[in-house]
Amino acid sequence: MYTFQTKAEVTQISLTGARLIVILGALMVAPRDLNDLNTLISECGLVDKNYSNDTIRIALSTLKAAGCVISRPCKATGFKYKLISHPFALSISEEEIAALKSLYANMTRGSDYKIAVKFNELFNTLAEHTFNRETAGELRNITSFHKIEPAVYEAILKEEGKNNILSIIYANPAKKLSEKKFVFGRIFLKSNKLYVEGYDLETKKTVCYNLSRIREVISSLPCDAEYKPEVYKVKYLLKNYDHHPIDDDVRVEKVEHNVATVEMEFTNKFFAVQHILSLGADCTVLEPQNIRDEVIAKLMELRKIYA
Amino acid sequence: MLKVNISSLRVLQMLQLLFEKDYTMNELMAALSKVSNERCSNFLVSKYINTCRFCGIDIQKIDGKYTLLKLPFGMEFSDDVLSLFDEIKQYSANMRLGKNIRAYNSLLSKINKRSDRYYAKIEPPADDKNIQAFEFAIENGWKINMKLVSDGKETSILCEPLELSCDGDKLVIIVNLNGERTKILYDDVVSISVSDIKSSGNILSTSVIFRLRNTLARRYTLRPDEKVVGIDDDGSITVLNKTEDKQSLLNRLLKYDSMCELVSPRAYKKEMKSLIDNTLANYGK
């Protein structure tokens, strides 16, 4: 942890100051008792002798005087001193949080979840290093992954690249629990939520589950059959082409007078229809007919609502 | 009364000052004297700096100022997060989000001071006079004159600048145009100049209310600045949204099909109706 210079390299130092920095650094890493701290100081080669417990206690009092909050040794901490907060912690301004939110929102527009997972880890690390609860909460809430059971999050992310049959306990929107069994396909991100997609061996259909509703991953067993998702190819005309962000999974066939002929692949019909509707009057579905009909039917229903 | 060691307390107090900003020796002496209520000489401050350096805390004199560069026992990031820093740098290279880049770089400076590694900042974008004018107008509360071109037609508008943002790989500017939060594609901007008219300073808030039904009401995740203002017996929820720009909001609500109904304002309902009619017209309906 420390790379002490030899005493020859420095003209003047405060040994008590150096001792305090060692203790601060040690407490930043983990809770410690007086013996741990004493051992650490002598292992560092800072001094050749052991300090008395009183000397270490004075150092701890000095840390408190500098603004550190250190808990008393108790059963919960294994009778060790625990650094609750310190004045050197990261403080993150509103502008900095806004910049992180903006980067996250813009860089996670596609369905690739991996970058969102990395952002989630960054936000959690930053939250751990700021002692401001409000800031930490705001950072952890940028992604919606805090709503996912940690064990489920870990278990599902580990499935990537494997061809396993998963059994899960799933809570539907009405919070009714049921067991689901499917061949793992892929993980994807949609509207800042993580989903797992797979193939239900019983219904022979592609299924998709929101990770925040998975209560438990019961088992993960190897599967002989390879899962091939049902793919919907939707071809549509897109007006004002240069005004629309184009995702990676979109193939632009041609563009004439700012009108593009686009082909997009979906494995989930619900999301396909949602995407098309969100493009509003700029989009006209060309094929397949069933998606075209579904879009028209939904728009006709909406027309009645706003009549 | 706690028994403390004054010399080591001063070392920590000086370290705390260096976490906040860089100091010349004279500034550091003055700041530490103020914090400690006693005169701190050049000799003492040098001794404290040497103590920190002795413990591996990297303090360098850069442009005449003592600068804290590394802490050997601070923040550590996983390989995934390290690769994310690179991806952010790459992504931002083509973006001209001046304010956000400055804020991100400022955060990285703080992280660098609390870590034993150096995380490279994003290069500020090349000078863009339009962006500079836009940000100047926001900071100083002026309206802007903006020339836009769309489908070959040029138009001029007077509006209040709100923020720079991205829409996928496209830079967009958000303005208050006639009381509505409006998103404009930066590629459509010909020029931006600061007007001599002060911004109203009013926080723009068009209160939009919509109702969500069925499963959508149960699975809907509120956006930032959205709140539920009503719950019906059948489980439907009424949501208030104040900050989303009109076009994005209408298109987003449209995708929820009949599970969502815009309740107010009347002007938005009218536009939603037009949006539905225009979309159906694409299919000859």
Q: Give the pLDDT score at B91.
A: 80
Domain end (from A36, A54, A85)? A85
> Would you call A240 helix, strand, or coil by DSSP?
coil
Same domain, residue pair A18 and A75: yes
Task: Pick A298's closest partner by Cβ from B71, B167, B257.
Answer: B257
Give the residue on A whose Cα is nearest the Cα of B18: A88
Type of residue at A255: V
In a domain, A11, yes or no: yes
Residue A180: burial class (beta carbons within 10 Å; 0-12, 13-18, 19+): middle
Backbone φ and ψ for B45, nearest 5 degrees, come out as -65, -40
Cβ contact (<8 Å) for A21 and B57?
A: yes
> Would you call B131 helix, strand, or coil by DSSP?
helix
Q: Name the stretches of chain B with pLDDT < 70.
A: 1, 93-99, 124-127, 168-169, 201-206
- Packing angle between helix B6-20 and helix B42-54, nearest 10 degrees? 80
In a domain, A207, yes or no: yes
Same domain, residue pair A135 and A172: no
In a domain, A259, yes or no: yes
DSSP A208: E
- Compute the average pLDDT of residues A269-284: 91
Q: Give the pLDDT score at B230.
A: 87
Q: How far apart, in whole angstroms, are the C-alpha atoms of residue B62 and residue B24?
A: 9
Same domain, residue pair A198 and A216: yes
pLDDT tens per residue, range B47-63: 999 999 988 899 999 99
Which positions in chain A touch B99 (Cβ < 8 Å)? 95, 99
Cβ contact (<8 Å) for B110 and A61?
A: no
The CA distance from B56 to the nearest CA of chain A, in Å, is 5
In a domain, A32, yes or no: yes
pLDDT tens per residue, range A145-166: 999 999 999 999 999 888 899 9
Contact indicator for A70, A60 with CB cutoff of 8 Å? yes
pLDDT tens per residue, range A3-62: 555 554 555 888 889 999 999 989 988 899 998 898 888 887 766 677 888 899 999 999
Tokens representing B45 are 């401050």
Cβ contact (<8 Å) for B81 and A118?
A: yes
Task: Pick B55's closest partner by Cβ from A21, A275, A299.
Answer: A21
Which positions in chain B touch A26 (Cβ < 8 Å)? 73
pLDDT tens per residue, range B111-163: 988 888 888 777 766 667 888 888 888 888 889 999 998 777 889 999 998 87
Q: Give the pLDDT score at B16.
A: 92
In a domain, A209, yes or no: yes
What pTM was computed for the model? 0.75
Same domain, residue pair A157 and A114: no
The CA distance from B167 to the nearest CA of chain A, in Å, is 6
Give the rounded percent of residues in chain A with a pLDDT score beyond 70. Answer: 94
Type of residue at A131: F
Tokens representing B211 are 């109702």
Q: Give the pLDDT score at B62.
A: 92
Q: Which residues pair with B69 in a beta bridge?
A: none
Which positions in chain B touch A19 (Cβ < 8 Å)? 8
DSSP string, A33-69: -HHHHHHHHHHTTS-SSPPPHHHHHHHHHHHHHTT-E
Residue A171 has pLDDT above 50, yes or no: yes
Task: Pick B4's closest partner by Cβ from A61, A103, A301.
Answer: A61
Which positions in chain A touch B168 (Cβ < 8 Å)? 106, 109, 244-247
- Compute the average pLDDT of residues A216-237: 84
> Phi-psi region for residue A28, left (φ > 0), alpha (ψ -120 to 50) or beta?
alpha
In a domain, A21, yes or no: yes
Which positions in chain A touch B7 (Cβ < 8 Å)? 14, 16-17
Residue A231 has pLDDT above 70, yes or no: yes
The total of structural domains in chain A comes to 4
In a domain, A276, yes or no: yes
Contact indicator for B114, A92 with CB cutoff of 8 Å? no
Q: How far apart, in whole angstroms, are the C-alpha atoms of residue B144 and residue B285?
A: 41
CATH code: domain of residue A16: 1.10.10
ipTM of the complex: 0.76
Name the nearest CA neighbour of B157 among B145, B172, B149, B173: B145
CATH code: domain of residue A214: 2.30.30
Q: Chain-wide mean pLDDT for chain A? A: 87
In a domain, A1, yes or no: no
Q: How far apart, in whole angstroms, are the C-alpha atoms of residue A3 and residue B70?
A: 12
DSSP A202: T
Give the residue on A whose Cα is nearest the Cα of B281: A281
Q: Which residues pair with B70 in a beta bridge?
A: B58
Which domains are seen in chain B, by residue range? 6-70 (1.10.10.10), 76-126 (no CATH), 142-198 (2.30.30.520), 208-281 (no CATH)
Range of the domain at A117: 94-143
The Cβ of residue B207 has, within 10 Å, a number of other Cβ atoms equal to 10
pLDDT tens per residue, range A238-256: 998 887 877 767 789 999 8
Q: Give the pLDDT score at B204.
A: 57
The helix (H) or strand (E) run that includes residue A76 is none
Cβ contact (<8 Å) for B100 and A2?
A: no
Domain end (from A127, A143, A159)? A143
